[in-house]
């Protein structure tokens, strides 16, 4: 038995209820805060709201679910609802996403069982014109994934989920938040949950949810739709208290604290494919430093500081690296990975400089085929740093090594970045053999399923740049395809527009995108950067006056200070620090 919208409306209107009706409403309200018009008391840690559509899509139920097992003596207050096998898979995916996407296992919660705990049915709703149905005592499907993740995070951290939040999204095998079905019915229930103010949905489905809410209630503001891409991002929105509070609590338990730092470090060092929301890890690292860094031994503190720098860089924030000298005492595999991150940090952020890194990196750079995958990472990172300093021939050598060695030892996973650089630098250096090697390597890696779908647009772009550098006839057409692809990353479309203007000055579609036509507000920074670089291209070709160079450089530097800083220093060392000479060096060596 569960509450109905009519019953709750009668209660809100003051109609006299029978004792049975009154008891039912009291039980439903006691199960969670979602039926309280003003929010009501907070839910307990681990409790979260689920929405389950009826089989025919004409109605839905609101369920209260608790990630923690109920005490054996606890008697069910409302109708109990079990879960099927797809929901069990969703629970497993939610727990993996938390374990891999956030270093969350600091709580006393040991994790879920093989099947979700039963939920309580709070509220049922049917479309007025739909025939009544007998609801089953179990529900199933992947659409509970994000709600499960929030309940598990809440139980792990011992922090309640905010009472105004409801999650409407699934979780993919890689931890990404994905769209769900049955939205119309589920949003029908939302109208009868007065405390709900925020709906967490997959970014790809946010517009659809907005449209359905407006269609259902055109005269009402309704709940806010919050698009999220990852479980980590959803946790940041949903918990009543920031996760930093739970991190601070670790200070009182040194063994758990040190284990957590190690887990965070390992995730940042070698978890790039598993982390979907780096700002959350950056926040966690910053909170840990504030809470207990002073109490750590030197080795553990170094790991925490490195993790913080890596996470902040991936989150597009500059953060200085700690002193790297102690890395010489680390085991070789870990030292190689840490130095690869340090070199990549230098390429992106501009510090530390090459002279600081050279003594640490040079002895580890392989000069033959006797190298393992971490050596390939370091070689590829070193090549990127050299390319950022306008040293393309040296950079090309190391990217060639990284690609060929990965293929020879069967470490194709991770080949995309050095492969993209091999194609781009091959074109820049007019090296036909290098571009041919890159294309052959792409074919082999793709045949071994080593190219992720997310990397394919970047490799297509790098191949187009290689073709342009070799003056191949298909280069412009490849860039046009990227420019016109709405699903391609915005920075690739803008970069394609910039290179098309180099090939075809005045190309209307490229000029329109660089001017901001169709660029969302979130992409304004990218647009300013590539418009400035396109302006430097025009100065380099003599199409516009070199007096514009200082302003164009200032704009580009404000958006990408690390890369522009490298190129400015390279120009100064070559005696090309002003005017058209500077514009030409930046135009030739800007890596996008």
Bridge partners of residue 138, in order along the sequence? 82
> Distance between CA 323 and CA 309 in Å, rounded?
12
pLDDT of residue 1: 45
In tens digits, what is the pLDDT along the chain, a chain of 592 residues? 455 555 555 544 445 556 666 666 666 666 667 776 655 666 789 999 999 999 888 999 999 999 988 766 555 567 889 999 999 999 999 988 887 766 665 566 778 888 999 998 888 888 888 898 888 889 999 999 999 999 999 998 888 999 899 999 999 877 789 999 999 999 988 888 878 899 999 999 999 999 998 887 666 677 999 999 888 889 989 999 888 788 888 888 898 888 889 988 988 888 777 777 788 888 888 889 988 888 999 999 999 999 999 999 988 888 899 999 999 999 999 999 999 999 999 999 988 888 889 999 999 998 777 899 999 999 999 999 999 999 999 999 999 999 999 999 999 989 999 999 999 999 999 999 999 999 999 999 999 999 999 899 999 999 999 999 999 999 999 999 999 998 899 999 999 999 999 998 889 999 999 999 989 888 999 999 999 999 999 999 999 999 999 999 999 999 999 999 999 999 999 999 999 999 999 999 999 8
pLDDT at 7: 55
* Fold category of 5-238 in CATH: Ribosomal Protein S5; domain 2 (3.30.230)
Beta strands 119-126 and 59-66 are antiparallel
Using alpha carbons, list the distances in angstroms from residue 285 to 102, 306, 312, 443: 11, 9, 9, 39
- Give the tens place of pLDDT for each residue, 462-520: 999 999 999 999 999 999 999 999 889 999 999 999 999 999 888 999 999 999 998 98
- Token couple for 395: 């950079």
For residue 192, the model assigns a pLDDT of 81
The confidence score (pLDDT) of residue 215 equals: 82
Structure tokens at 384: 């990127």
pLDDT, position 138 = 92
Cα distance between residue 330 and residue 491, in whole Å: 37
Residues found in the chain: 592
472 backbone φψ class: left, alpha, beta (φ>0; ψ -120 to 50): beta
Q: Which two tokens stand for residue 271?
A: 């978890």
Residue 481, pLDDT score: 95
Distance CA(499)–CA(467), nearest Å, equals 12
d(CA 420, CA 591): 11
Sign for the CA dihedral angle at 571, 575, 577, 580 comes to: negative
Would you kindly state where each structural domain of the chain is located, as residue ranges?
5-238, 478-592
CA-based radius of gyration for the chain: 28
């Amino acid at each position: 038995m569960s509450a109905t919208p009519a019953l709750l409306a009668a209660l809100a209107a003051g109609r006299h209820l029978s004792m049975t009706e009154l008891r039912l409403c009291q039980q439903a309200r006691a199960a969670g805060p979602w039926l309280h018009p003003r929010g009501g008391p907070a839910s307990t840690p681990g409790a979260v709201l689920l929405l389950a559509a009826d089989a025919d899509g004409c109605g839905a139920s609101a369920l209260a679910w608790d990630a923690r097992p109920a005490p054996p003596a606890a008697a069910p207050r409302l109708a109990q609802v079990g879960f099927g096998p797809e929901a069990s898979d969703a629970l497993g995916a939610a727990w993996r996403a938390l374990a891999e996407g956030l270093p969350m296992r600091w709580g006393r919660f040991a994790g879920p069982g093989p099947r979700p705990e039963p939920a309580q049915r709070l509220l049922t709703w049917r479309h007025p014109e739909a025939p009544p149905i007998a609801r089953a005592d179990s529900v199933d499907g992947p659409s509970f994934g994000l709600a499960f993740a929030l309940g598990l995070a809440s139980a792990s951290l011992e922090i309640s989920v905010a009472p105004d939040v409801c999650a409407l999204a699934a979780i993919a095998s890689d931890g990404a938040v994905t769209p769900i079905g049955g939205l119309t019915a589920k949003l029908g229930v939302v109208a009868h949950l007065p405390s709900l103010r925020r709906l967490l949905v997959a970014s790809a489905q946010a517009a659809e949810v907005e449209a359905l809410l407006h269609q259902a209630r055109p005269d009402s503001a309704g709940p806010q739709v919050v698009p999220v891409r990852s479980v980590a991002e959803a946790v940041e929105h949903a918990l009543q208290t920031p996760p930093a509070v739970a991190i601070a609590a670790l200070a009182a338990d040194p063994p758990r604290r040190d284990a957590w730092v190690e887990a965070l470090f390992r995730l940042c060092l070698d978890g790039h494919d598993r982390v979907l929301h780096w700002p959350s890890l950056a926040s966690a690292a910053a909170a840990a430093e504030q809470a207990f860094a002073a109490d750590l031994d030197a080795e553990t503190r170094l790991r925490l500081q490195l993790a913080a720098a890596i996470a902040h860089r991936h989150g597009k924030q500059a953060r200085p690296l700690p002193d790297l000298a102690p890395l010489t005492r680390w085991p070789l595999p870990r030292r190689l990975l840490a130095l690869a991150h340090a070199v990549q940090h230098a390429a992106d952020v501009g510090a530390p400089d090459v002279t600081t890194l050279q003594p640490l990196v040079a002895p580890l750079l392989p000069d033959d085929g006797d190298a393992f995958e971490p050596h390939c990472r370091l070689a590829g990172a070193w090549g990127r740093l050299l390319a950022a300093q306008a040293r393309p021939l040296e950079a090309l050598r190391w990217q060639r090594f990284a690609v060929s060695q990965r293929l020879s030892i069967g470490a194709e996973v991770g080949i995309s970045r050095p492969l993209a650089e091999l194609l781009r630098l091959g074109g820049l250096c007019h090296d036909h053999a290098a571009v041919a090697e890159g294309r052959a390597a792409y074919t082999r890696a793709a045949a071994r399923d080593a190219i992720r779908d997310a990397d394919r647009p970047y490799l297509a772009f790098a191949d187009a740049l290689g073709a342009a550098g070799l003056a191949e006839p298909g280069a412009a057409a490849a860039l046009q395809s990227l420019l016109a692809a709405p699903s391609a990353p915005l920075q690739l479309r803008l970069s394609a527009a910039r290179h098309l203007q180099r090939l075809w000055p005045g190309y209307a579609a490229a000029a329109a995108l660089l001017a901001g036509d169709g660029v969302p507000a979130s992409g304004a920074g990218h647009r300013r950067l590539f418009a400035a670089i396109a302006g430097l291209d025009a100065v380099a070709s003599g199409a516009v006056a070199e007096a514009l160079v200082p302003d164009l450089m200032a704009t580009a530097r404000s958006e990408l200070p690390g890369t522009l800083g490298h190129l400015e220093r390279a120009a100064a060392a070559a005696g090309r620090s002003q005017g058209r000479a500077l514009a030409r060096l930046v135009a030739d060596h800007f890596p996008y």
